[in-house]
Amino acid sequence: AQSVAQPEDQVNVAEGNPLTVKCTYSVSGNPYLFWYVQYPNRGLQFLLKYITGDNLVKGSYGFEAEFNKSQTSFHLKKPSALVSDSALYFCAVRDVDNFNKFYFGSGTKLNVKP
């Protein structure tokens, strides 16, 4: 079975500092990994995905994620956090046996303080 885990319920960072939101995965094959962001009362918005290729994936709003096969991780990063980045972030993996299905992590609340 495929799954992702987000070990931190909440991450606090000061504006201008780098941020990392952690995600580890468990898949039986090559993973298709995604990051989404959810603002209050709004739908999830796609940030970036890893399918294959370069381990460092660049996405929307200056975010990037690093795929690390040996550590089975796909951490979300941004060099300089903005207060407007404060939101709920979800890591997700696509089921390799059933591409219709995505498995989401439980989410990490990012708080960026001025």
Partner 1 sequence: GAGVSQTPSNKVTEKGKYVELRCDPISGHTALYWYRQSLGQGPEFLIYFQGTGAADDSGLPNDRFFAVRPEGSVSTLKIQRTERGDSAVYLCASSERDPWSDYEQFFGPGTRLTVL
Give the footprint of partner 1 on this chain (CB under 8 A): 36, 41-46, 49, 51, 90, 92, 98-107
Q: How far is the CB of 16 from partner 1 (least distance, A)?
A: 29
- Residues 107, 53: Cα–Cα separation, whole Å: 26
The two tokens of residue 18 are: 């780098």
Nearer to partner 1, 22 or 49 (CB): 49
Nearer to partner 1, 25 or 36 (CB): 36
- Residues 112, 4: Cα–Cα separation, whole Å: 24
| Residue 41 falls in which region: left (phi positive, over 0), alpha (psi -120 to 50) or beta | left
Q: How far is the CB of 108 from partner 1 (least distance, A)?
A: 10
Nearer to partner 1, 52 or 70 (CB): 52
Please count the residues of the chain.
114
Q: How far is the CB of 50 from partner 1 (least distance, A)?
A: 11
